[in-house]
A and B are shown apart, each in its own frame.
Chain A
Amino acid sequence: MTEQRVSYTLDSTLETVDSAEQAASRIASEAGFDDDEVMRIAMAVREAAVNAVLHGNAYDPGKKVSLAFEQTGGNLVITIRDQGKGLDLEKIPDPLAPENLLKTSGRGIFLIRSFMDEVHISPSQTGTEIKLVKHVHGPSEGVKEASQ
């Protein structure tokens, strides 16, 4: 995998969600992931972008979403940052809990964690940064983590 970095600054719109997904699909494909992995990576990025646009920036036209793709050390590292109030990790429900199965929302972070090898979420008062890592040859034993 050739080391390179691509970054975007995007508006807080639904079009950003589609753009982020398309960029992820293209870059993951160019990085050599197979079709199934490309779909999973693109979906994880889409879900993170949805969180940034809707829950982070709340469609505020004055706030931006930054998106960066970095290919380094055999990993594809994707960073999505919003300018919202900061995600409250304590309030993320377990979508697999019986009482939440029929909820109509709350599955985005779960899907992200399901599809990526590492997920690091860093909320702050000036926004939330979510870093997604996919290993080119899949996770090594004990490496996969899903931090909250």
Chain B
Amino acid sequence: MKTSTRQVDGVTIVDCSGRITLGEGSVILKDVVRELLSKGQKKILLNLGDVNYIDSSGIGELVSSYTTTNHNGGQLKLLNQTKKIHDLLTITKLLTVFESFDNEDAAVASFK
């Protein structure tokens, strides 16, 4: 898994690509989110458009990132879920937890 971050109107967009799985992938996500929070960047939008695979550990890390961000007074939302990720979040009922967007502008505006 690879990530890069960019700022848009006070929102940190984390562009993720590759696999979020047990081991390296989930650790990278965890580290990125915690680093952002430590720097006070608490409006986080995870762009999952180029994530081609996620397993239960990756789902767990998404949940962990979400709850950690909330506990730090921030917000974490999802952008561009692939069909595979959407299906996984649907069957695990996590679509009811995450606020998700298909449009970056709308996602960024939702943080205001």
Contact residues of A with B, CB < 8 Å?
A: 14, 17, 39, 43, 46-47, 50, 54, 95-96, 101-105, 107-108, 110-111, 114
Majority secondary structure of chain B interface residues (helix, strand, loop or mixed): helix
Chain B residues within CB distance 8 Å of chain A? 21-23, 55-57, 59-61, 63-64, 66-67, 84, 88, 91-94, 96-97
| Given A14-B22, A17-B22, A95-B92; A104-B55 close (CB under 8 Å) | no
In the assembled complex, the Cα of A111 lies from the Cα of B94 at a distance in Å of 13
How many A-B contacts are there with CB distance less than 8 Å? 46
Chain B min CB distance to A124 (Å): 24
Chain A interface main SS type: helix
Instruction: State the Cβ distance, B109 to closest chain A Cβ, in Å.
Output: 26
Chain B: minimal CB distance from A96 (Å): 5
Whether A111 contacts B93 by the Cβ 8 Å rule is no
Bound state CA distance, A75 and B27, in angstroms? 37
On whether the beta carbons of A39 and B56 are closer than 8 Å, the reply is: no
